Structure 1
Amino acid sequence: MFGQMPCSPVGQRSVAHLIDAQLGDASFLARLVQHGPTKSYLAEALKHLASQDADFARLVLAHAPSRAKPRAKTPPAPRKRRAPAKPTLAPRALLADFEDACPAPKAARVEADLAELPLASLSPQVASYLPLPAKLRLSNASRGSQRLMSLAGAWEPLVLDSNATRQLLTRLRQADPHGVLAPQHYPPPARPCWTELKDVTVELMEPDRLPREFSRASSMVSLVMDPIEELCRRLAAGCFAGARCLNISNIEVSRMDARFLELRLGAFKDFPRLILEQDGLDVSRYRLHACHRVHALPSKAEGEALAAQRFPRQQGMEYLLSPPEMVTESEALFLQEHRAMTKTGRSFRNPQHLWYVIPDQDVRQQYDVLRQKLATQASAALPS
């Protein structure tokens, strides 16, 4: 955020050095916003971003409390001058260097509602710019920072890389191997406010492997042998229940194909739209995108076109596989969601992994229910 402001190169280097030097102290941000000039600078920075990005401006306005018209107050009686207050929580040398290195710039003209936003209402948005490890350190720094990090806005959007996912799933396996805890009681690094997050991105870890040497059963409980199954078990229990957009990457093809029908009507049953496709150039990995956006359901003709388009024809494979038979509307929805699958004869398979087959009867049995549910939601969303 600081790098986007029009500071001098020397000022930018100084600020970057100061911030990097203080990020080891998890309470740095919480203490920094106590300082008046720094608070003013952050407010100007937020207004500058809002003037450049309409979406960010709407985000700021959405999280700012409504301000009532100020009432006239009688001037207070003069008070006796007190002794100087205690030194500020942030180091004075640091604050002086911070002011000299990056003075508050002039923000561009924005809406009147952005003119005098209290920084206290924007603190979660400021914290949301921190990387996940810094957020975790900040949440354990002090009571004030704990209250700040208990707000969903401080974690929005939540991005878990493979290391963070390993830490989360391993800790959940240790504390709750049978999945009986409610998400509000999950141990750290999970937070109760994660159930309120709207945008969640998860990169799955690589699965744990069994150790070659003998290990006790108690030491193997924490092993995550199937990351997508473990994550979906937590999703079904209500973890990330408020997510409007969920992205999962690095999913093993064999494990996802074996359980896709079950998971679609289980952990992902509340998402009207879902797309499962190859993760980049790696044919052994999938990525999944699920969101709460109602969309038009595909027709039989569209399903037949998808099946014909994906039918494998390289290296004489069309002579080994039967051409697709009739495609129903429910099967068309399946092909629209699972973009790596095609229909051959009376079964579905991934052309890159032909050994795993899903009978079309199983697809129709599950997707008839799903299509009926989505059709009801689509009709309810239409304006009357």
Structure 2
Amino acid sequence: DEAPKPQATLIPDPLDEVLKRLKHYFSDVTDLIISNIEDYRMDYRFVGLRCSSLGAFGFVQLQHHSNPATYELRALRDDPPKSVDLKAIKSVNSSRIPWAVRVDHSTTISEREALFLQEHLSAYKNGSDFFLAHAIYRSVPSHTVRKRYKAVVASLSRRFPQQFQTASVSTSTPS
């Protein structure tokens, strides 16, 4: 057969390829699990991927595995995110801070940051930035999380208002 063979296509970043195609080619995907994701890369890319390619998914969770150092990403389109309870997430955040890290007691957590902490199970906030329990020298600026998660929280709170009620403060007085 003299027909030319097709050239093999090199895909330098399979994760990006899959996530880019979710919106137009794989729009019916409702349950997505991707494992064996390089941890270094995901440490810096999760916020961007969550707020773009995974924006239509209600539940997203990123779990770190130490041996080998990889992540597993799970996204469920129609499931709600975990409840965003600011008091509860402050406790969770404190429990994630490694013992050798000096705790900054002025740390505050917004609703957007709380959702990020619910989704990225290795992250904790200390002071004005987020760090990763498995690599404390890697950080994510909190202003980036607040800016990028603004649209995600707005969309999810419309779809799943019951998950965000505990984060709001009532200003009404009892009758």
User: TM-score, normalised to structure 2's length?
Assistant: 0.79
Contact 1:303–1:328 under 8 Å retained in 2? no
| Corresponding position of 2:107 | 325
Pairwise CA distance, 1:283: 5.5
Mark the structure with the bigger radius of gyration: 1
Q: Return 5+ residue gaps in structure 2 as ranges.
A: 1-5, 163-175
- Superposed, 1:232-381 pairs within 5 Å as 232-236=19-23, 238-279=24-65, 281-282=66-67, 284-291=69-76, 292-295=78-81, 297-313=83-99, 317-319=100-102, 322=104, 325-379=107-161
Q: For 1:1-384, what aligned pairs fall within 5 Å after superposition?
A: 222-236=9-23, 238-279=24-65, 281-282=66-67, 284-291=69-76, 292-295=78-81, 297-313=83-99, 317-319=100-102, 322=104, 325-379=107-161
The code of the aligned residue for 2:16 comes to E
Contact 2:89 2:117 in 1 (8 A): yes
Q: Retained in 1: the 8 A contact 2:60–2:81? A: no
Separation in 1 of the partners of 2:71 and 2:14?
13
Larger helix percent: 1
1:217-245, CA deviations, whole angstroms, 9 ceiling, x for partnerless residues?
A: xx8xx333222222222224x23211111
Instruction: Name the structure where strand makes up a greater proportion of residues.
Output: 2
Moved over 6 A (4+): none
Change over 3 Å in CA distance of 1:254–1:296 after alignment to 2: closer
Measured in 2, the distance between the counterparts of 1:225 and 1:243 equals 23
Q: 1:257 aligns to what SS in structure 2? A: helix
Alpha-carbon contact 1:228-1:256 (below 8 Å) kept:
no
Counterpart-to-counterpart distance in 1, 2:113 and 2:47: 12
Give the letter aligned to residue 305 of structure 1.
Answer: S
1:6-61 residue CA offsets vs partner (Å, 9 max, x unmatched): xxxxxxxxxxxxxxxxxxxxxxxxxxxxxxxxxxxxxxxxxxxxxxxxxxxxxxxx
Q: Distance in 2 between matches of 1:283 and 1:326?
A: 33
Q: CA RMSD in A?
A: 2.3
Kindly provide the CA deviation profile for residues 127-179 of structure 1, in whole angstroms up to 9, marking residues without a partner as x. xxxxxxxxxxxxxxxxxxxxxxxxxxxxxxxxxxxxxxxxxxxx9xx6xxxxx
CA drift at 1:355 = 2.7
Distance between the aligned counterparts of 1:295 and 1:230, measured in 2? 25
Number of matched pairs: 156
* 1:348–1:283 Cα change, 3 Å: farther
Provide the rounded CA distance (Å) in 2 between the counterparts of 1:239 and 1:359: 32
Structure 1's 318 and 365: CA in aligned 2 closer, same or farther, altered over 3 A? same
8 Å Cα contact 1:302-1:332 kept in structure 2: no
| Alpha-carbon distance between aligned partners in 2 of 1:296 and 1:246, rounded to the nearest angstrom | 17
Letter in 1 for 2:108: M
Match in the other structure for 2:172? none
Distance (Å, rounded) in 2 between the aligned partners of 1:276 and 1:253: 10
- Report Cα offsets for 1:156-205 as digits up to 9, x if no partner: xxxxxxxxxxxxxxx9xx6xxxxxxxxxxxxxxxxxxxxxxxxxxxxxxx
Q: Provide TM-score, normalisation by structure 1.
A: 0.38
1:378 deviation in Å?
1.4
Q: CA deviation at 1:323?
A: 5.0
CA deviations on 1:338-364 (whole Å, 9 max, x unpaired) are: 001111211111121223211111111
CA distance in 1, matches of 2:147, 2:88: 20
Seq. identity, %: 29
